[in-house]
Structure 1
Amino acid sequence: MEKETMELITLSISSGGILFSAIAAYAALKSAKVSSDQFNNQTERQKVLENPKVIPLTETINFPFYGIHFDWVKNRISSTNYHLDSSEFKVNLLNVGKNFALDVNIAFELVGGIDSFNYHYHNKITDYQIFLLVENFEEVALANLDDFYVNVMNVPNYADGREFDPLRVHTLQHFEPIIQAGDSISIYIPRYFIVLSNVYAVTKNSEKPLNKPKLLMSINYKNENFEISKEQYIVEFEDDSNIQGFNRNIVGNLIFKKNKLYP
């Protein structure tokens, strides 16, 4: 009986030792996996920190407002540049990463494209009437074209004369060969966005405001290993203007929001 008891005790001790060894081995394996994951995460974070990162900066808008056709600049000469695709207003992009960005491509396009417009828009405000007419609207809408013209016209209510502006709405692109870490560049935004934002500013409190125009800004660039990074932002004018009487400044901020629909 004593012999059987001793054998049982010996077996229990042996089994306990095996179980303890198994638990210890599992704990060591789990610890090694955690250490490996931590190392991989740290390596990935370090890689992200060392990569270039090009971001747009919020711009403050505070310019004399001479009319819906005028650019966001300090003087009136811009109204003569009807046939330019870009405005004279620049936005700044900064490389906040720790390495240079190569082959930087920036593109602006109108959010919604042709669907942003009705065939004809007309609004009568205090000083003048505003007309927007899309050329060949049905053809453009049916083919879903991304390059079309919007004719913008304002007619004074109490004076002779009118201003007519054929706006070309299409994707405007900019290429920069390299942006060093900590450096910034300045690029022009589309002129149609300036004019449409001006129309929005003067009609926003009317019975028939123009929909707020928005741009889709795409930024593509490479790191030193030629790996490609892609970012997208929604650009819009946060308008604080109250354009009436002698209060003739257009005021607000041009802001950039990460496009949540973009991976």
Structure 2
Amino acid sequence: MDKQTLSRDGTPLAYQSTGRGPAVVLVSGAMSTGGTVAPLAAPLAERFRVVVYDRRGRGRSGDTAPYAVEREVEDLAALIEAVGGEASLYGVSSGGALVLRAAASGLPVRRAAVYEVPYALDESAARAWAEYAERLAEALAGGRRGDAVELFLRLTGLGEEMIQGARRSPLWAGLEALAPSLAHDAAVLGDARVPRALLSSVRVPVLSLAGGASPGWFREAARTVARTVPQGAYRVLEGQSHAVEPGVLAPVLAEFLAG
């Protein structure tokens, strides 16, 4: 990240900008920095000015306490202002939930695209999320970053053997460094239920995407988003999972964002 801007509360935000044309800000999900969505920048930069940034509490960006979801919306406002005063947004997973919140807030957003926002569609899923959020808060309050990472990995369906293997990996220290930001994503998702009132207030076109190889509930959640926003469209990327391939996603995003 070679550039920096300041959010309203003074938090420094590290970002990169590539390409020329209408601005598009890419928003990463949980346990990730801007580097996770950076591979998408190159194919989009042929038609857009693509902004990749580290969300607060990650990478080279700062993290001013106390955290509030509104501060992350203000972060997007600062980035949009830094690149010309108007932009489209793309967010993956919980980053998509942040994008939808920003679009509903009245920021100068042209269009918004989201991929597999993990909304809970039934009470069982909502209870599982509530239990995760409670245990996550306890682990982070006790300084147990490793336990927080384990909780998240279990939530994503990773098996115990793979989790323990990850603990022994050289990458584990980096995961623990990101652990406090899991609380940010939990706050962005709230109770994880579909925020129908918020989505109904979005006044820009929204493309809600899901992968054909992902669990079915991801597609149903994406379809629900598209049905709830006033100007929603839904599309499935065949053969794709939650870790969508940039080469498959980029042409679909470009078509929508150029609209």
TM-score, normalised relative to structure 1: 0.27
Which has the greater radius of gyration? 1
Say which structure, 1 or 2, has more relative contact order (CA 8 Å, 6+ apart). Answer: 1
